[in-house]
Amino acid sequence: MLGGINGALKGVCRFGTNLWRDRKGVTALEFAIVGPVFLALLLAILYTMLIYLAQQMLETAAQSAGRLMLTGAVQTTQLANGHVGMTASDFKNAICNGFSGTGPNGQAISTPSMLPSMLSCSRLTVNVTTVSAYNVSNASSPTFTYDSNGVLTSTGTGYNYQASGAGQNRIVVLQLIYLWPTGKGPLGLDLSDQPNGNRKLVATSVFTTENYTCNTSQTSC
């Protein structure tokens, strides 16, 4: 009887030893434990990276659009639609799709789209204003207002660059505001700061206009 018990115990010990030494399936088990966390962390990095990428693209578009306004092209070009000097909708369309027209000296002007294809024009808002001095407060983000359903009702933006005569030494603040659809990321990451899972990206360009001449059909530009 005692020998049978000892034999059984030895068998159990041998089985335990073999089980401890058997490394088959360890890699799969470890990946099952660590893999989901690693993948979630990787997705969180991509989630954040896309926001920074969109912000950088918006900054580049703001610099290009600001250059057109700095040189007076926005204020004085005669467009194919007959407008002399861009309206707010003309300027936004020029940023999204490019434009062509005739400058005040009769020269042809053509510019490609400044907004990357990754960004949608329907989510873009343009804010232009003039200020009397360079000041951080002048470049603060406009306040967006929403109704109870999260529908945008007011952007708090405008389009004002004009003054009497030519536009030399006018300080202009140009802002491109974009509602980037973020939603919620992995690991509970949520970088949205607007309703409906959007994040407001703002690119600001502040500059002093060069000495440009109004078009002959304009009294001010």
Quote the pLDDT of residue 19.
46
* Contacts by residues 110-113 (CB-CB < 8 Å, ≥ 24 positions apart): 111/68, 111/73
What is the rounded distance in angstroms from the CA atom of residue 69 to the CA atom of residue 71? 5
What is the rounded distance in angstroms from the CA atom of residue 63 to the CA atom of residue 58? 9
Is there a domain that residue 213 lies in?
no
Give the pLDDT confidence of 113-138 residue by residue, as tens digits. Answer: 999 999 999 999 999 998 888 887 77
**Element holding 216 (H helix, E strand):** none
Is there a domain that residue 187 lies in?
yes
What is the rounded distance in angstroms from the CA atom of residue 73 to the CA atom of residue 106? 12
Is there a domain that residue 221 lies in?
no
Give residue 146's Cα distance to chain centre: 20
Cβ atoms of residues 113 and 98 within 8 Å: yes
Residue with tokens 């440009």: 212
CA dihedral 67→68→73→78, nearest 10 degrees, is: 180
Is there a domain that residue 3 lies in?
no
Number of domain units in the chain: 1
Is there a domain that residue 4 lies in?
no
- pLDDT higher than 60, residue 17: no
Is there a domain that residue 17 lies in?
no
Give the pLDDT confidence of 56-90 residue by residue, as tens digits. Answer: 999 999 999 999 999 999 999 999 999 999 999 99
Is there a domain that residue 7 lies in?
no
Which residues constitute the domain of residue 193? 25-208
Quote the pLDDT of residue 170.
87
pTM of the model: 0.80
Q: What is the CA radius of gyration of the chain?
A: 30
What is the rounded distance in angstroms from the CA atom of residue 155 to the CA atom of residue 202? 12
Mean pLDDT for the chain? 83
- pLDDT higher than 60, residue 3: no
CA proximity to 75, closest of 157, 158, 159, 162:
162
Is there a domain that residue 10 lies in?
no
Lowest mean pLDDT among 36-50, 98-112, 118-132, 172-186: 36-50
CA dihedral 203→209→214→219, nearest 10 degrees, is: 80
